[in-house]
């Protein structure tokens, strides 16, 4: 099962300089995605054509030896406060309150640009250590306590974001936008669960395993990825 984003909203911010990526991760991007003209061409393929491509998708499963894990970090400001909380508060956003109404719902996911209240709220969610949150704050959130993943087009969970809300086991969540960081909200990853990131192998958007994300508050910087899958052993 696949859930896909064909969003074009984030395209501009998602064209990431490949030089930064090679420097940060010692990895060369596939040629196919280095050419921005190719990306533009690719993005203009109508959705109906994409469905045909998705029909042939396989799922990249890493061999255990090839699994590299990436851990999240919480960025603190000069005063030692969680920077994303301070940023949200400065915009008048209650990080424990409901999602701000400037979040956009597109193709089954939430998205937004930097500088919006929604961006500040989603960015802050991934820095919350939910185990230590006081009950009165948790009471503002009723309902499911399952995991949420928010993906970002920039390093350090900057740039545009895509959040799928509660994600399901065994489904792949894909986007044409190149993603470079992510964070997990609402709970951590348990011992028998895995959050695997993958990217293109030829036409298969989830065809090549990239890295496995480890749970915990904060933001994890990753090599470029376009697909995520949460699964349990």
Ligand X SMILES: *[C@@H]1O[C@H](CO)[C@@H](O)[C@H](O)[C@H]1NC(C)=O
CB of 108 vs ligand X, minimal distance in Å: 25
26 or 143, CB closer to ligand X? Answer: 26
**Full DSSP string of the chain:** -EEEE---TTHHHH---HHHHHHHHS-PPPHHHH-HHHHHHHHTS-HHHHHHHHTT-------GGG--EE--BPPB-TTSSBHHHHHHHHTT--TTSPPPTT-EEETTEEEE-TTSHHHHHHHHHTT--GGG--HHHHTTS-S----EEEEESSGGG-S-EEEEEEPPBT-EEEEEEEEEEEEEESS---TTEEEEEEEEETTEEEEEEEEEE--SSSEEEEEEEEEEEEEE-
122 or 230, CB closer to ligand X? Answer: 122
CB of 49 vs ligand X, minimal distance in Å: 34
CB of 81 vs ligand X, minimal distance in Å: 11
Residues in contact with ligand X by CB under 6 A are 24, 75, 83-84, 87, 123, 155-156, 158, 221
9 or 158, CB closer to ligand X? Answer: 158
CB of 76 vs ligand X, minimal distance in Å: 8
45 or 75, CB closer to ligand X? Answer: 75
CB of 82 vs ligand X, minimal distance in Å: 8
59 or 87, CB closer to ligand X? Answer: 87
């Amino acid at each position: 099962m696949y859930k896909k984003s064909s969003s074009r909203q984030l395209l501009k911010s998602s064209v990431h300089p490949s030089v930064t990526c090679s420097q940060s991760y010692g990895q060369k991007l596939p040629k196919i995605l280095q050419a921005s003209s190719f990306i533009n061409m690719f993005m203009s393929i109508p959705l109906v054509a994409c469905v045909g491509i998705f029909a042939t998708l396989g799922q990249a499963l890493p061999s255990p030896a090839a699994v590299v894990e990436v851990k999240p970090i919480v960025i603190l400001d000069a005063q030692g406060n969680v920077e994303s909380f301070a940023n949200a508060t400065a915009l008048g956003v209650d990080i424990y309150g409901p999602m701000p109404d400037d979040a956009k719902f597109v193709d089954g996911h939430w998205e937004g640009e930097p500088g919006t209240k929604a961006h500040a709220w989603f960015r802050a969610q991934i820095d919350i250590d939910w185990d230590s949150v006081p009950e009165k704050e948790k009471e503002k959130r009723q309902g499911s306590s399952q995991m949420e993943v928010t993906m970002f087009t920039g390093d350090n969970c900057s740039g545009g974001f895509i959040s799928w809300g509660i994600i399901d086991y065994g489904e792949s969540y894909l986007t044409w936008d190149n993603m470079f960081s992510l964070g997990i909200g609402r709970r951590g990853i348990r011992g028998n669960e895995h959050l695997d990131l993958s990217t293109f192998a030829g036409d298969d958007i989830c065809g090549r395993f990239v890295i496995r994300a480890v749970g915990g508050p904060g933001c994890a910087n990753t090599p470029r990825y376009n697909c995520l899958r949460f699964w349990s052993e």
